[in-house]
Amino acid sequence: ELDSVGATAFAFYYREISRMLEDELELRYPPVPYTFVKTLREDGRWCKNASAGIQNCAQFMAQALEKAGAELERRLGPDPSGWQWGRLHQASLTSTLASTPLIGGMFNRTLPTPGSMHTVNVANYNQDTFLHTSGASLRTLFDLADLDKSRVIYPMGQSADLFSPHFDDLLWLWRDRQYIPLSTRPADWGRTWTLELRP
């Protein structure tokens, strides 16, 4: 969750643990954690690092915890009440119009997001910056008994018009795992607008 201190602490510790193969194979963050999870359980050889004086997994984990704590305090300060996951884990939604001079940045949105690569609500992140890099964008729930009761959500909004109330009105619903009706019945749509472009 966004305000989780435990998620933040775990992310920093996991970041250090996942450096296990860095000294021998130069794999800083292995894409699949199975190798180092198995090593930790079996006190395997990948924990050892002679140049750092580490002889076993207990020493490796203790050093990883110490490094994680130091880096966490360096980035977010010594007070754990300020270590909320949402302060680090943020998604940036960049518009194709972002490169437009003067006004491009107005089309972009950044918001704190929950989840990680280890949660049901998958929200992968860069392990150096902790910025949200990938996850579910379009989400749909289809009710096969009554398709008009189906639901949908996606980031931003229905309109590409920056001045429309529907430019980014779905963004927070998407972030908070909420949905809107996906109905074929016009009566369920509420008020609608038509944008007419003329040369």
Closest among 66, 34, 70, 64 to 47, alpha carbons compared: 64
Q: Which is more confident, 105 or 58?
A: 58
Q: State the Cα–Cα distance between residues 56 and 71, nearest whole angstrom.
A: 23
Q: State the Cα–Cα distance between residues 50 and 54, nearest whole angstrom.
A: 6
Going 160 to 164 to 166 to 172, the CA torsion angle's sign is positive
User: pLDDT tens, 161-189?
Assistant: 777 888 888 888 988 889 998 988 888 87
Asked if residue 147 and residue 129 are part of one domain, the reply reads no
91 within a domain of the structure (yes/no): yes
Asked if residue 121 and residue 45 are part of one domain, the reply reads yes
Asked if residue 157 and residue 106 are part of one domain, the reply reads no
197 within a domain of the structure (yes/no): no
Q: What angle do CA 169, 127, 105 make, to 5 degrees?
A: 35
| Secondary structure of residue 72 in the 3-state scheme | helix
Residue 23, pLDDT score: 63
196 within a domain of the structure (yes/no): no
Q: State if pTM tops 0.85.
A: no
Q: State the Cα–Cα distance between residues 59 and 46, nearest whole angstrom.
A: 12
* CA 19 to each of CA 10, 23, 95, 152, 185: distance values in angstroms, whole numbers, following the listed order: 14, 8, 34, 39, 53
Asked if residue 128 and residue 71 are part of one domain, the reply reads yes
Q: What is the CA radius of gyration of the chain?
A: 22
Asked if residue 100 and residue 163 are part of one domain, the reply reads no
Is the pLDDT assigned to residue 77 strictly greater than 90? yes
User: pLDDT tens, 51-60?
Assistant: 778 888 888 8
Residue 44, pLDDT score: 75
In sequence order, the 6+-apart residues with CB closer than 8 A to the CB of 100 are 107
Asked if residue 162 and residue 146 are part of one domain, the reply reads yes
Asked if residue 150 and residue 83 are part of one domain, the reply reads no
Q: Residue 59: which domain range?
A: 1-135
In sequence order, the 6+-apart residues with CB closer than 8 A to the CB of 56 are 43, 47, 48
Domain count, the chain: 2
